[in-house]
Amino acid sequence: MLVVMKNGATDAQIQAVIAEIHKMGYRGVSMPGAQRTAVCIIGNQHPVDGSILLAMEGVKETITVTKPFKLVSRETRPESTIIQVGEVRIGADEPVMMAGPCAVESEEQALTIARFLKSCGVKIYRGGAYKPRTSPYSFQGLGIKGLQILEKVRQETGLLIVTEATDSDNLEEVEKYADIVQIGARNMQNYSLLRLAGRVSKPVLLKRGFAATIDELLMAAEYIITEGNSRVILCERGIRTFSDNTRNTLDLAAIPAIKELSHLPVIVDPSHAAGRRDFVIPLAKGAIAAGADGLIVEVHHDPAHALSDGAQSLYPKQFEQLMNDVSRLKSYLD
- Residue ranges of alpha helices (H) inside 100-143 are 107-119
According to DSSP, the β-strands at 88-90 and 83-85 are: antiparallel
Confidence of residue 137 (pLDDT cuts 50, 70, 90): low
The continuous run of DSSP H or E covering 183 comes out as strand 180-183
At 139 the pLDDT is 76
Q: Do the beta carbons of residue 173 and residue 144 sit within 8 Å?
A: yes
At 267 the pLDDT is 98
CA distance 208 to 167: 17
Overall CATH class of domain 83-333: alpha beta
Lowest mean pLDDT of 70-84, 112-126, 273-287, name the range: 70-84
Task: Give the closest residue to 130 by CA, choosing from 96, 157, 99, 168.
Answer: 168
Q: Do the beta carbons of residue 277 and residue 303 sit within 8 Å?
A: yes
pTM of the model: 0.90
| Structure-derived torsion over alpha carbons of residues 149, 151, 154, 155, reported in degrees to the nearest 10 | -100
- Residue ranges of alpha helices (H) inside 24-60 are 51-54
At 333 the pLDDT is 86
Return the CATH architecture of domain 2-63: 2-Layer Sandwich (3.30)
- Residue ranges of alpha helices (H) inside 37-177 are 51-54, 107-119, 144-157, 168-177
Confidence of residue 1 (pLDDT cuts 50, 70, 90): confident
At 180 the pLDDT is 98
pLDDT digits (tens, 9 = 90+) for 181-232: 999 999 999 999 999 999 999 999 999 999 999 999 999 999 999 999 999 9
Number of Cβ within a 10 Å radius of residue 320: 15
Q: Do the beta carbons of residue 168 and residue 196 sit within 8 Å?
A: yes
Residue 260, CA distances (Å) to 30, 74, 264, 281, 300 in order = 22, 7, 10, 26, 35
Mean predicted confidence (pLDDT) in 82-110: 96
CA distance 274 to 287: 13
Characterise 94 by phi-psi region: left (phi > 0), alpha (psi -120 to 50), beta (else).
beta
Q: For residue 95, give the DSSP letter.
A: P
pLDDT digits (tens, 9 = 90+) for 256-314: 999 999 999 999 999 999 999 999 999 999 999 999 999 999 999 999 999 999 999 99
Where in the chain do CATH 3.20.20.70 domains reside?
A: 83-333
**Exposed / middle / buried, residue 161 (Cβ in 10 Å: 0-12, 13-18, 19+):** buried
Mean pLDDT across the chain, nearest whole number? Answer: 93
Where in the chain do CATH 3.30.70.1140 domains reside?
A: 2-63
